[in-house]
Amino acid sequence: MSRSLSDCILKSSLGFAALLSGSVIVAVIAFLFHEAWPALSSGKLSHFLTDLKWQPGSDRDPQYGIAPMILASILVTLLASLIAIPLGVGGAIFQQFYAPTFLGNIHDRLLELLAGIPSVIFGFWGLTVLVPAINKWHPPGQSLLAAALVLALMILPTVGLTSRSAIRSLDPGLLQGAAALGIGRPSMILRVILPAAFQGIGSGCLLAIARAVGETLAVVMVCGNIAQIPHSVFDPVRPITSTIALEMGYASSDHRALLYASGLILVVMTGALVGWQSFRREPLTPSQKG
């Protein structure tokens, strides 16, 4: 209960700040909807989602199929995850079970440094180093593979740091019990520790994947920017984020509305991933009773 004028003012102003803060996401979604409405209400939505050609610039017959971009986003994310998750978890296992503690801590610091590198620098490095290297192997260089590799490097720290944290927070009694049963190190890690840390590691992976889906800069610089369905990892692709980034500058009404609709799709995808992650944390695991 406020007992003075200053308290009343305090409560109102803080409440106002909270209201304003909470409304930002509402405003974001509302404006996205507003700009995307021409596309959403045109009745061509199903075409939009499933058509395979994207040629909005064509005057005679503009094509607006976003399916190749959705597919590209999914493929790039999937490939990046397949690379980053084993590397991240493997690194965490090395830190916890095979390396001395000080080395493990240094590794954490280095991963944090890696995590701090802005995406534009990853993209720049990918463009100047990775793409030419892939080009030598199999042209053109700018490709699904390049995008996946760069993205994998970007999400590796998230997976590694959360995995190590999850393993460390396991009950030490678990390790002691496994050791007392004469279970050797590799079996202990693979059959006891990893299943027990599964939830924590899984959270880290979901967060990493959500970040990968929304990542724009690094990917747009190395993916080749051709809106097509790739036939191999060496083909150029164009995920949703890159499409928005590249075409927003010159898109006109219909085209622009579709780009905003793509933005909405992105919000749905990342929101769903993050929502799933927090939902997994909610139901409490059955604790030891009695």
Partner 1 sequence: MDSLSISDLTIRYGNFTAVKEVSLEVPSGEITALVGPSGCGKSTFLASLNRLTDLTPGCLADGKILLGEDGCILRSGIDVLQLRRRIGMVFQKPNPFPQSISRNFEIPLREHGIPKSEVDDRTETALRDVGLWDEVSERLDQSALNLSGGQQQRLCIARALALDPQVILFDEPCSALDPLASAVVEDHIAALRGKVTVIIVTHNLAQARRIADSTAVFWIRNGAGTIVEHGPTKTIFSAPKDPDASYYLSGERG
Partner 2 sequence: MRNGRPSDILLGGLCALAALTGVGALFWIIADLLQLGLPQISIGFLTGEVTESGRSGGIGPILVSTALILLSALVVAVPLGVGCALWFSEMIPEENRGGQLLTASIDLLASVPSIVFGLFGMVFFCQVLGLGFSILSGGLTLGCMILPIMIRTTISAMRAIPCELRPAAAALGLTQTTTLGKVLLPRAVPGILVGITIGVARALSETAALIFTSGYATRWPGSLSDSGRAVSVHIYDLAMNIPNGSARASASALVLLLLILTINLAASFFSDRWLAKQSASCSTLNG
CA–CA gap between residue 195 and residue 200 (Å, rounded): 10
Q: Kindly state whether residue 181 participates in binding partner 1, applying the rule CB under 8 A.
A: yes
Closest among 83, 89, 88, 84 to 189, alpha carbons compared: 89
Cβ closest to partner 2, residue 6 vs residue 288: 6
Write down the least CB distance from residue 100 to partner 1, Å: 9
Residue type, 127: L
Q: Kindly state whether residue 287 participates in binding partner 1, applying the rule CB under 8 A.
A: yes
Any residues with CB less than 8 A from the CB of 23 and at least 6 apart, and which? Answer: none
Determine the 3-state secondary structure of 100 from DSSP: coil
CA atoms within 13 A on the CB side of 67: 13
H helices present in 119-252, as ranges: 119-125, 131-137, 144-168, 172-180, 185-187, 194-196, 198-214, 217-222, 240-247
- Which of partner 1, partner 2, none interacts with 229 (beta carbon under 5 to 8 A by kind)? none
Q: Kindly state whether residue 175 participates in binding partner 1, applying the rule CB under 8 A.
A: yes
Q: Kindly state whether residue 40 participates in binding partner 2, applying the rule CB under 8 A.
A: no
CA–CA gap between residue 235 and residue 85 (Å, rounded): 23
Write down the least CB distance from residue 11 to partner 1, Å: 45
**Binding window for partner 2 (CB under 8 A); candidates: 27-35, 49-57, 134-142, 227-235:** 27-35
Q: Kindly state whether residue 28 participates in binding partner 1, applying the rule CB under 8 A.
A: no
- CA 155 to chain CA centroid, Å, is 7
Using CB under 8 A as the binding criterion, the count of chain residues that bind partner 2 stands at 93
Binds partner 1 by CB under 8 A, chosen from 55, 128, 187, 278? 187
Cβ neighbours, 10 Å, residue 135: 15
Binds partner 1 by CB under 8 A, chosen from 179, 229, 268, 272? 179
Per-residue tokens: 61? 């017959």
Site for partner 2 in 142-171 (CB under 8 A): 153, 156-157, 160
Binds partner 2 by CB under 8 A, chosen from 50, 57, 98, 105? 98
Binds partner 1 by CB under 8 A, chosen from 11, 138, 191, 281? 191
- Which of partner 2, partner 1, none interacts with 33 (beta carbon under 5 to 8 A by kind)? none
Q: Kindly state whether residue 182 participates in binding partner 1, applying the rule CB under 8 A.
A: yes
**Binding window for partner 1 (CB under 8 A); candidates: 65-73, 175-183, 233-241, 247-255:** 175-183
Q: Kindly state whether residue 176 participates in binding partner 1, applying the rule CB under 8 A.
A: yes
Q: Which residues pair with 64 in a beta bridge?
A: 54
Closest among 277, 257, 236 to 38, alpha carbons compared: 257
Binds partner 2 by CB under 8 A, chosen from 31, 37, 198, 276? 31
Q: Kindly state whether residue 22 participates in binding partner 2, applying the rule CB under 8 A.
A: yes
User: Exposed/middle/buried for 214, CB within 10 Å: 0-12, 13-18, 19+?
Assistant: middle
Site for partner 1, rule CB under 8 A? 171, 173-184, 187, 191-192, 195-196, 285-290
